Amino acid sequence: MRFGWVVLLMLSFPVLEAVGIFWVADKIGAWVLLWLLLAAIAGVSLIRFERVAWGARMAFSMQSGVNPMSSLFASGRILLAGGLLVFPGFISDVIALVLLLIPGTWDKRKTDPLHPANDDVPSATWEEHTNVAPSCPSGCKTIDGEFKREPDDLQR
């Protein structure tokens, strides 16, 4: 039984949470109920927000040519933290806060809401990002006119 201690920890986690709730309730009183209620509301709101935002974040990562795993991990961390906040107990709340305070989860959302969290996309223009020079460096001018497709003799 190689991972028996992991199974034991998983099975004893609800018991540890209940003991933690009773211990904190003994110290601070009925404020525990308010804490648990506010934590559950915060967890539900995190889950609802991230349920909507993860698709746009993944699409932006794929469109910009960046590995979307960083956005997926950031969304997963936020969803896991929301679930832990909904689960009543102080140990799970501390774990959720640690997950939310990992550097990079909220940094880019403060500065640029269009960039997903934990992306490696530099704030540069398309030419700088792709190392592609513009097709006409002297300034392109579009001439409006009629377009007519002529058949190609090589395709016959």
Contacts of 144 (CB under 8 A, 6+ apart): none
Q: In Å, how far are 30, 43, 95, 108 from 101, measured between CA atoms?
A: 27, 15, 10, 13
pTM: 0.62
In tens, the pLDDT along 67-85 reads: 788 888 888 999 999 999 9
Alpha-carbon distance of 1 to 130, in angstroms, equals: 52
pLDDT band at 128 (very low <50, low <70, confident <90, very high): low
User: Residue 119's pLDDT is what?
Assistant: 46
Average pLDDT value over all residues in the chain: 78
User: Residue 44's pLDDT is what?
Assistant: 95
Find the range with the poorest average confidence among 29-38, 52-61, 136-145: 136-145
